[in-house]
């Protein structure tokens, strides 16, 4: 596992940003956590492109390959920033970045090796040129632009769950 302190800092800061966080050490534990996170209702989109995504068990009757109609998106994200508890989603490999913004619940699978201590560390490791499209997600979507009333889930997911595996 990457530096234990960096992983713990990420989990703590993601939880402080209202994300539900879980640390697991194998695929079986990931799927046990996934049962609780997915609950029993709603269509689930998972691109099944990475090995971790392929290992996710989604009940067949709930799986959809159309993220526009999904309630939940389960995906392995590009990485995370420990300093802010933020997830990093990119368009690398032709991934649909909007897939994690449209459903009301985003479940992010994060590899400990891709948790960077700071934003600067991420950009230093990212290469030149960086990915074309980068989205940072720090907890559920929040806005207070309408009469200064806090509203959750207007510009992105209402719920964010993170599984570091």
CATH number at residue 147: 3.40.50.10420
If one counts the domains in the chain, the total is 1
The residue with greater pLDDT, 155 or 40, is: 40
**The two three-digit tokens of residue 123, written as one number:** 């950009």
Q: Structural domain of residue 138, as residue ranges?
A: 4-164
For the chain, how many residues are written? 165
- Cα separations (Å) of 134 from 42, 77, 91? 27, 11, 7
Residue 151 has pLDDT above 80, yes or no: no
With residue 105 as reference, give the H or E element that holds it.
Answer: strand 105-110
User: How far apart are the C-alpha atoms of 139 and 15, rounded to whole Å?
Assistant: 8
Residue in 114, 40, 105 with CA at minimum distance from that of residue 82: 114
Distances (CA, A) of 100 to 72, 81, 103, 116, 140: 8, 17, 7, 20, 11
Whether residue 148 is predicted with pLDDT greater than 70 in this model: the reply is no
pTM of the model: 0.89
Cα(58)–Cα(45) distance, rounded to whole angstroms?
9
Query: Would you say residue 146 has pLDDT above 70?
Result: no
pLDDT beyond 60 at 154: no
Pairing of strands 134-137, 86-90: antiparallel
pLDDT at 87 over 90: yes
Mean pLDDT of the region 118-122:
95
Give percent of the chain with pLDDT exceeding 90. 65
- pLDDT, position 153: 46
Instruction: Say which residue, 159 or 158, is predicted with more confidence.
Output: 159
CB atoms within 10 A of CB 17: 19
pLDDT at 36 > cutoff 80: yes
Mean pLDDT of 123-131: 85
């Amino acid at each position: 596992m990457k530096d234990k302190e960096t992983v713990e800092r990420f989990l703590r800061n993601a939880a402080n940003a209202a994300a539900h966080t879980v640390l697991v050490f194998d695929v079986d534990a990931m799927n046990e956590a996934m049962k609780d996170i997915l609950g029993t209702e709603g269509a689930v989109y998972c691109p099944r492109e990475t090995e971790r995504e392929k290992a996710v068990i989604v009940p067949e009757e709930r799986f959809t390959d159309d993220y526009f109609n999904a309630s939940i998106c389960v995906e392995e994200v590009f990485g995370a920033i420990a300093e802010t508890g933020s997830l990093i989603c990119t368009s690398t490999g032709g991934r649909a970045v909007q897939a994690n913004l449209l459903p009301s619940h985003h479940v992010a699978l994060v590899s400990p090796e891709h948790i960077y201590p700071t934003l600067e560390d991420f950009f230093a490791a990212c290469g030149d040129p960086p990915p074309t499209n980068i989205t940072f997600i720090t907890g559920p979507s929040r806005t207070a632009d309408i009469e200064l009333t806090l509203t959750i889930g207007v510009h992105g997911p209402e719920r964010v769950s993170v599984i570091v595996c």
